[in-house]
Amino acid sequence: MHLNNLLLWTSLIPFSGAILLMLIPGSYFNLIRNIAFGVAQLTFISSILLWICFDSITSLFQFVYTINWFPSYNIYYTIGIDGISLFFIVLTTWLITICILISWNIPNNQIKEYLICFLVLEAILIQVFSVLDLLFFYIFFESVLIPMFLIIGIWGSRPRKIRAAYQFFIYTLAGSLLMLLAILIIYFQQGTTDIQILWNVNFDTRTQILLWLAFFASFAVKIPMIPFHIWLPEAHAEAPTAGSVILAGVLLKMGGYGFLRFSLPMFSEASLYFAPLIYLLSIIATLYASLTTIRQIDLKKIIAYSSVSHMGFVTLGLFSFNLQGIEGSIILMLSHGLVSSALFLCVGVLYDRHKTRILKYYGGLVQAMPIFSILLLFFTFSNIGFPGTSSFVGELLVLMGLFQFSIISTFLSAFSLILGAGYSIWLFNRVCFGNLKLQYISTFQDISRREFYILLPLSISVLWMGIYPEIFLNEIHCASYNLIAYFN
């Protein structure tokens, strides 16, 4: 394998794995599971090789590969990564591996189609984070909807899953149609959709404002920002555990990545112009979502609404237009991908055993499930942003960046951290302390070896990023400096 083609192979491995699974008869259940897990591991190893071979002292795109798709129309399929996209690809490949592991008990007659959906989703997500052409970005950005729609609609846990799948699909598709119109306007004006060329084009202010709004409509739904968040709690509540993990861990990051890759460098004047609007929506999101989280009774919806609050922090960092804010928002997105995934896994552990996510049926689990309770406590503190965890590093950098731009916004957003501590500790207290509610649940089983081996690496990486964030920031520095240059 030639080193320059490493990125191409990383995206082709899961796609090839999906095709291989299609050719295997559905009755070979164990073979299907083992091949899917092996393919996911191979993709993860390939993404780690990308990280090892990555040159952190340049802001140029690396592992670039180009195909002349429509040369007569000046449309080329180009992939490449910089410090911003590198870790999103590593996060994607790791979480898909975890998703396949936690789906080991899916019924045999459904396992083949289920695992094909996840491998196809992985291939598309790697393309989303590496493609360097606006048109191809749109194609892959929308293609994510198809496997995710199937995962929620077919393998969801309750009768409302069909409604949740359609809501997710229509909401996100409607937002993205405006982005497609904006891409067509850019193409007919500039004659290209190559973002490396478009980054250096000076659009006039009026055009920038219109194009920025079109891109914002798509990315705000994906993050999601309030008031475009309605689809998220419903989709989370109805999705299977693995679906919730990939939805919270990676799909919510596509909107933030879109702002980093397109809105900020291409429409820098419009981004500055709309910064007050973003601040207003983000602060409302952090406070409103935190208050809404406190009154939820479904375990998954509690974590879903807390995700909306954390993503509000991310957008505040992105639009602080300085190094600390942007790097903080990237670290916070990666941290949220790990912590929220782990919390959804913990909820999945409870649901697998007791078939309910309603909070009132649980209590006193520390007596019957001590190992589970310790892990839940760790991830609850990580969700709060406790010093020593990855979320603390991200939130600290975001607040440092935001303080340079708006002191009032910093104070209001910091207040949401207190609310976050409130709902997180209250949730843990109600689930793990008090008396066992034996009138509802009489049999208990602590986490299995497989579940422990899934949650332990997640906790180690949260600590690693919290104690020694420099290893991640080193790779992000150059790409972040390059981004800030567009505002100077």
Strand (E) or helix (H) holding 63? strand 62-70
Sequence-separated contacts (24+) of 431-435 with Cβ below 8 Å: 431/299, 431/350, 431/359, 431/362, 431/363, 431/365, 431/376, 432/364, 432/365, 432/366, 432/373, 432/376, 432/377, 433/363, 433/364, 433/366, 434/363, 434/364, 435/363, 435/364
Encoded amino acid at 65, one letter: Y
Given this model, what pLDDT does residue 19 score?
93
Q: What is the CA radius of gyration of the chain?
A: 22
pLDDT in tens, the chain (488 residues): 456 788 899 999 999 999 999 998 878 888 999 999 999 999 999 999 999 998 888 888 989 888 888 888 888 899 999 988 999 999 999 999 999 999 888 887 888 899 999 999 999 999 999 999 999 999 999 999 999 999 988 888 777 888 888 888 888 888 888 899 999 999 998 888 889 888 888 888 898 999 999 999 889 888 888 887 888 888 888 888 899 899 988 998 999 999 999 889 898 899 989 999 999 999 998 898 888 888 888 888 899 888 888 888 899 998 988 889 999 999 999 999 999 999 999 999 998 888 888 888 888 889 888 999 999 999 999 999 899 999 999 999 999 999 988 888 888 888 888 888 888 998 899 888 878 887 887 788 888 898 999 999 999 999 999 999 999 999 998 888 888 887 76
Given this model, what pLDDT does residue 364 score?
85
pTM of the predicted model over 0.85: yes
Summarised one tens digit per residue, pLDDT across range 82-112 is 988 999 999 999 999 999 999 888 887 888 8
Ordered DSSP codes for 114-125: HHHHHHHHHHHH
Given this model, what pLDDT does residue 94 score?
95
Given this model, what pLDDT does residue 488 score?
65
